[in-house]
Amino acid sequence: MEISKHCAQVGKQELNYLQAGSGPPVILIHGLLGGHFCWRLNIPALAERHTAFAIDLPGFGESVAPPTLDCSMQTQAARLLAWIEQLGLESVDLVAASWGGAVALLLAGLTPRIRSLVLAAPVNPWSQFGRNRLRFFDGWTGRTLFRLGVPFSRPLHGVALKRLYGDPARIPPGALAGYSKMMMCPGRAENLLNTVHCWQSDLQALREAIERVQVPSLLIWGTRDGAVDIRSSDVLLAKLPVCERAIIAGAGHLSFEETPEEFNRLVVDFLERVSAKSQPA
């Protein structure tokens, strides 16, 4: 299967993406510290029946951005909408993970072009995991330590990656090298700090956006997720009007990478059901 690489300009910002397959468009949105690399085990399965786009939002993946770039979830959602409009995509499905899941929800609250959502452990206002760390790194001491530490952080990347897995033995070959490469991009520390600085205002906007989301949604969570609390999915289930949930036993935060066969099956089945319901009688 051919996977082509592209670079778009959204405003003045670079947005890199992969494209594969043909059929209804599905856009894959990475999490924090991620990029299109995250979806390497999912693109082939989705591209069998869809045109799959795996993006690098500005400031992440291979999309280089200035240190002062606004990397808030709200701004990223607006950029993504501009790119979708640029491509002339009228109806798209979104598959998004973690921080990207929050961006996807914000985007779905902005436009009727979104047909459905698949959200893998999306960041949301009702998960309390990591709140203290976020507050620390948004303070002067935390920001300073982060800036100083990132250039020397490579030995810690493996430890961090293992914590995102339910079973570290399932980390695929090349995963650590891929994530380390993205983390060490020039300006990445400032891009991440800018993202963290907007976190609380983004979560407030997300609360409001969720009230406007009306499309079919699928939540996917691993039972060993230590990054976004699985209990917060109960609130999302109640707030999203057409929503279902799938639990992957033993998986951690990166279920799309840790258990790709099961994840891909869940996504493909859900998109097929969405497509069947959207066909005229």
Which residue has tokens 């607006």?
78
Q: What is the pLDDT of residues 171-226, one digit of tens each?
A: 999 999 999 999 988 889 999 999 999 999 999 999 999 999 999 999 999 999 99
Please answer whether residues 100 and 31 qualify as being in contact, where contact means their C-beta atoms are separated by less than 8 angstroms.
yes
pLDDT value of residue 280? 60
Q: What is the 3-state secondary structure (H, E, C) of 137-176?
A: HCCHHHHHHHHHHHHHCHHHHHHHHHHCCCCHHHCCCCHH
Residues contacting residue 246 through CB under 8 Å, at least 6 positions apart? 218, 219, 220, 221, 266
Strands (E), the chain: 3-10, 13-20, 25-29, 51-56, 92-97, 114-120, 217-222, 243-248
Beta-carbon contacts of 187 under 8 Å, excluding residues fewer than 6 positions away, are 59, 64, 65, 66, 67
Considering the chain, what is the average pLDDT of its residues? 94
Following DSSP, what letter does each residue of 95-123 receive, concatenated? Answer: EEETHHHHHHHHHHTT-TTEEEEEEES--
Average pLDDT of the residues in 72-78: 96
pLDDT single digits (tens) 22-33? 999 999 999 998
- Is the pLDDT reported for residue 248 higher than 70? yes
Give the pLDDT confidence score for residue 224 in this predicted structure.
97
What span, in angstroms and rounded, lies between the C-alpha atoms of 255 and 232? 17
Q: What residues does 221 pair with on adjacent strands?
A: 247
Helix and strand counts by DSSP (H, E) for the chain: 12, 8
pTM: 0.96
> Which residue is listed with tokens 């994530």?
179
pLDDT value at residue 190: 93
What is the per-residue pLDDT for 87?
A: 95
If one counts every other C-beta atom within 10 angstroms of the C-beta of residue 174, the result is 10
Radius of gyration (Cα) for the chain, nearest Å? Answer: 18
